[in-house]
Structure 1
Amino acid sequence: MSKTALNLSGVTKTYNAGTPAEIRVLRGLNLNVAAGEVVAMVAPSGSGKSTLLHIAGLLDTLDEGKVEIAGTDATGMKDKARTLLRRSTVGFVYQFHHLLPEFSASENIELPQRAAGVSASAARARAEELLATVGLSSRADHRPGELSGGEQQRVAFCRALANGPALLLADEPTGNLDPTTSDQVFEALMTLVRKTGMSALIATHNLELAARMDRMVRLEDGVIVEL
C-alpha cells in the first residue's frame, strides 16, 4: 500500500479562463496526506475548498499539476478510469447528508456496496458493523426522515466508508449541526476513520474540532499554508 493517500502537486484551477470574469481559484497548490493521517483544512467561504476537494476526489479536473491517490497518478485519466478509481478509493461526506429518503439507514449503506458487486448478505453485515460503530444499531431499519440530524449524518459517514476507501474527503461534515451534536458526530467520524486506518482530509470552520486532528492546514489565496 502506498505511504501517501493523497498528493496534490502544483495544482492550478481557473474558471472562465481568458474572459473578464476569470477567477483563478487554486494557484500551484501543494498538499500531501499520508496514509492513516487525518488532516483538517480550514478556509474562509469562497476560498476554493470545495474546488480543491472535488479535484482531490476526481469530481473535477485541474488546469495544471498532478493528482495522485493511494499511489495512482490520476492526472490525465479518461472519465471511465477516473470513475473506477474514485469508486474504489475515495469516500465523500458533505455538510448535508444526501441520504435516499425511501431507503432505511442500513439500505443507504448497502447500496454503494451492491453497486460495487458485494453480495446482499455481505453488504448487510458491513452496514450493521458500521452502524454499531457509531451507536446506531437500533436505528438500522429507520428511514432518514425518522432520524435526527446527527443520526442522519452518522449514517452518511457509514455510507461513505462502506466500500473501504483509502481516502475520505469531507466538506464541513458538522457544519449543519448544533455544537453538542457536532461534537458527538465528529467523535463518531473519528472512531470510524481510526478503526479503518484510512486517511482523511476534512474541511471545517470549527477550529476546536480541527485542533483534534493530526494536522491542520489553511487554504489561503489559492495555496496551502501549514499551521
Structure 2
Amino acid sequence: MNDPVLALSGITKTYNKGLPNAVEVLRGADLTIAHGEVVALVAPSGAGKSTLLHIAGLLDTPDAGSVRICGREMVGLSDRKRTAARREDIGFIYQFHHLLPEFTALENIVLPQLAHGCNQREAVTRAADLLARVGVGGRADHRPGALSGGEQQRVAFCRALANEPALLLADEPTGNLDPGTADQVFGTLMELVRDTGMSALIATHNLELAARMDRVLHMDNGTLTEA
C-alpha cells in the first residue's frame, strides 16, 4: 500500500510525429495520486487533458515516460496484459454516459461484473445496491432512453465503480448536465468515491467542483502544475 495508485513520470506525447503538422501535446508531464486521494485536473480545451487521461487509463501509450499503477509499470506491457490491468484496476467515466441502450440500468452495471468473472447473483446484488446508493434504485429496470440525463450519468458512475477499481478516471463527468443537476450528480460521485476509499483523477472545467477535491492540478503547455 506504500506505492501510489497512479504515478506518471516524464510523459511526452506528440501526434503526427515527424510531419509538418506535428502537435506536441504533453511535454514531460508528472503526476502522483495517493491511495484515497481525489485530484482535479483543470485545463482549457485542447490542452491535452483527455490525452493524459487516456495514457493514465492505458487507452493510449506515451512516446516517452513511465506509467505506474499500484506500483506496476505499464509501459511496455503486451496489449493483453494492459487490457487485463485496465479491466481490474481502472474505472472510466466520460462526459456522455455511453450506456448500452438495449439493456436496463441494472444490466448495464451487471455486464462488466460478469466480464470480470463475478457470478450473476453477486453482480445483480451489487448493481442494485449501487443504484440505490445513488438514488435511482427505483429505475433499475428502465433502459437508458427512459432515464433523465442526470439519472443516466448516475448509472454510468455505478458501472464505473462496479468492479471496485483502485483508480477512477473521469473526463468532464458532469459537463453534459445543467448546472443544478451537475452539482447534485457530482455530489453523488464524491460520496461514492469517498465511501469506497478509491483514488480518482477528475477532469473538469468547473472550478467550483474542482475546489471540492483534495488537490487541483492545472495543465498548461504540456505540463502539470499544482494550484
Partner in structure 2 of residue 132 of structure 1: 132
Partner in structure 1 of residue 183 of structure 2: 183
State whether structure 2 residue 93 is matched by structure 1 residue 97. Answer: no
Deviations 1:193-213 (A, max 9, x none): 011100000000000000001
Deviations 1:173-224 (A, max 9, x none): 0000000000010011001101110000000000000000111000110000
Residue 3 of structure 1, CA deviation: 4.0
Residue 91 of structure 1, CA deviation: 0.3
Question: In structure 1, what is the Cα distance between the partners aligned to 2:69 and 2:161?
Answer: 16
Question: In structure 2, what is the Cα distance between the partners aligned to 1:219 and 1:92?
Answer: 20
Question: In structure 1, what is the Cα distance between the partners aligned to 2:81 and 2:192?
Answer: 28
Question: In structure 1, what is the Cα distance between the partners aligned to 2:112 and 2:2?
Answer: 24
Partner in structure 2 of residue 106 of structure 1: 106
Unaligned runs of 5+ in 1: none
Map 1:11-160 to 2 at 5 A.
Answer: 11-160=11-160
Question: In structure 2, what is the Cα distance between the partners aligned to 1:19 and 1:203?
Answer: 30
Question: In structure 2, what is the Cα distance between the partners aligned to 1:140 and 1:130?
Answer: 10
* 1:37 partner amino acid: E
- Identity of counterpart residues, as a percentage? 67
Question: In structure 1, what is the Cα distance between the partners aligned to 2:61 and 2:24?
Answer: 14
Partner in structure 2 of residue 205 of structure 1: 205
Q: Which aligned segments of 4 or more residues in structure 1 are displaced greater than 2 angstroms?
A: none
TM-score, normalising length: structure 2 = 0.99
Question: In structure 2, what is the Cα distance between the partners aligned to 1:45 and 1:138?
Answer: 37
Residue 29 of structure 1, CA deviation: 0.5
Question: In structure 2, what is the Cα distance between the partners aligned to 1:211 and 1:3?
Answer: 26
State whether structure 2 residue 4 is matched by structure 1 residue 4. Answer: yes
* 1:204 partner amino acid: T
Residue 8 of structure 1, CA deviation: 0.3
TM-score, normalising length: structure 1 = 0.99
Question: In structure 2, what is the Cα distance between the partners aligned to 1:70 and 1:187?
Answer: 26
Is the 8 Å Cα contact of residues 133 and 191 (structure 1) preserved in structure 2?
no
Residue 65 of structure 1, CA deviation: 0.3
Deviations 1:15-66 (A, max 9, x none): 1111101111000110011110000000000001110000000000011000
Residue 71 of structure 1, CA deviation: 1.4
Residue 2 of structure 1, CA deviation: 4.4
Is the 8 Å Cα contact of residues 7 and 31 (structure 1) preserved in structure 2?
yes
State whether structure 2 residue 217 is matched by structure 1 residue 217. Answer: yes
**Residues 105, 2 of structure 1: alpha-carbon distance in 2 compared, 3 angstrom cutoff:** farther
Deviations 1:112-149 (A, max 9, x none): 00011111100000101111110111111111011100
* 1:102 partner amino acid: E
Question: In structure 2, what is the Cα distance between the partners aligned to 1:98 and 1:51?
Answer: 19
* 2:18 partner amino acid: G
**Cα RMSD for the two superposed structures:** 0.7
Deviations 1:82-106 (A, max 9, x none): 0000100000000000000111100
